[in-house]
Structure 1
Amino acid sequence: MTLSQGDKFPSGFEFKYVPIELETLNQDDGLACGRPLGLGLDGLLEKNQGGNVLFVAVPGAFTPTCTENHIPPILEHLKELKSKKNITTAVFLSANDPFVINAWGKLLLKQQKISASNDLPKIIFASDPNAAFSQKNGLSLDLTDAGLGVRTNRYALIVNADSKTVSYFGVESEPGVTVSGYDGISSAKL
């Protein structure tokens, strides 16, 4: 099944993540992190009632396009996305393990000088273990021939937490960043 705009968001999935505390980000050792926690997507939507949850997936942490062109513009405009699109939580995900995602997230947040603020949505960098969510919903990318295995494709979803429906769906069909990047997300008609 391929997920698309207007669909009910799938239930019963869990990502893994190591929380990043924005309050102490600049004092944190980028190489140290805690143990991964489960991020139940059903519970995440319940906690965001009255808002929208943004999911942005990349094929790989620390890869050139993901690190230089895809995620930084979104991080730079999170305040705007909260005010204009009612994004209450932004989840950045990849099939990489949660430790790699945590280190990558810390570096990106430091690079963008993101700090704790009520003007920002909650920020989570999470792992889609074995790309299970992405594979089940037609959003995976098989990079086995390149030695990378099955990965999350490059996509962005905005999910209305009240109705649990996908109100924006942007998946890249070619290399590069268009519909899954900041420009695509910011122009979404919700």
Structure 2
Amino acid sequence: MSIQPGDRIPEVALKRIKDGVETVDTRTLFDGKKVVLFAVPGAFTPTCSERHLPGFVEKFEDFKARGVEVLCMSVNDPFVMKAWGDSQHVPQGLEMLADGNGDFTRALGLEMDASGYGMGLRSKRFALYAEDGVVKQLHVESPGEFRVSAADYVLEQLG
């Protein structure tokens, strides 16, 4: 069963690159904050690179103006996430997080098997909005879709 609105974000460690590879736990990322986390099946993949991440880059200031932090996550290693963020001109403050072993993705119950594409376990495409570590909204895409996890749609749902 996947995480649902009203549930707490599970406690899991993720990786990011700042001054080297850092371990950051979900409590640090979510507690006491308003956060949109969006996840993609893979860095540098077509929809993720052409539409999903660019939408959040374009709308980043709109989220900031609402006091909402933005996190991007993929089941990739932190070096790939950093390179992808650099190639997409991700603004400072939009966190690129690596869930390299899929631990957080599994804890959320939002994993998918992409073995048919040679990608193994990956995250479903989704966006969630949480306040103080509690999920308020969850938008999970149907396979092959890109609509409800898009930056414009998520901003619209925030009201």
TM-score exceeds 0.5: yes
The question of whether the paired residues in 2 share the 8 Å contact of 1:153 and 1:172 is answered with: yes
Would you say 1:92 and 2:72 are equivalent positions? yes
Equivalent position of 1:44 in the other structure: 29
For normalisation by structure 2, the TM-score amounts to 0.91
Deviation at 1:2, TM superposition (A): 0.9
**Equivalent residues of 1:171, 1:179 under 8 A apart:** yes
Whether 2:90 is the aligned partner of 1:105: answer no
The 3-state SS of whatever aligns with 2:88 is: helix
Q: Secondary structure at the match of 1:179?
A: coil
Gaps of 5+ in 2: none
Q: How far 1:189 moved relative to its partner? A: 4.1
Return the match for 1:82 from 35, 48, 64: 64
What RMSD, in angstroms, separates the aligned Cα atoms of the two structures?
Answer: 1.7
CA contact (8 A) 1:160 1:166 kept: yes
Which residue does 1:73 correspond to in 2?
55
In structure 2, distance between residues paired with 1:5 and 1:185 = 15
Query: CA 1:41 to 1:154, structure 2 compared with 1: closer, same or farther past 3 Å?
Result: same
SS at match of 2:89: helix
- Measured in 2, the distance between the counterparts of 1:149 and 1:107 equals 24
Amino acid of the structure 2 residue aligned with 1:78: F
Moved >4 Å (runs of 4+): none
- Quick check: 1:65–1:176 contact (8 Å CA) kept in 2? no
Q: Which amino acid aligns with 1:57?
A: A
Q: Which runs of 5+ in 1 are unaligned?
A: 20-33, 117-121
Is the Cα contact below 8 Å between 1:93 and 1:127 reproduced in 2? yes
Partner of 1:169: 138
The answer on whether the counterparts of 2:113 and 2:120 sit within 8 Å (CA) in structure 1 is: yes
Q: Counterparts of 1:96 and 1:179 in 2: how far apart (Å)? A: 22
- How high is the TM-score relative to the length of structure 1? 0.77
Q: Does the CA contact (< 8 Å) of 1:57 and 1:155 recur in 2?
A: yes
Distance 1:189 1:173 in 2: 21
1:6 aligns with 2:14: no
Query: Secondary structure of 2:83's partner?
Result: helix
**Alignment match, 2:153:** 184
Max Rg structure: 1
Please identify, of 142-151 and 176-185, the stretch whose mean Cα deviation from structure 2 is larger: 176-185
Q: Is 1:131 the counterpart of 2:102 in the alignment?
A: yes
Given that 2:59 and 2:152 are in contact with CA atoms closer than 8 Å, whether structure 1 keeps it comes out as no
Provide the aligned length of Structure 1 versus Structure 2.
Answer: 159
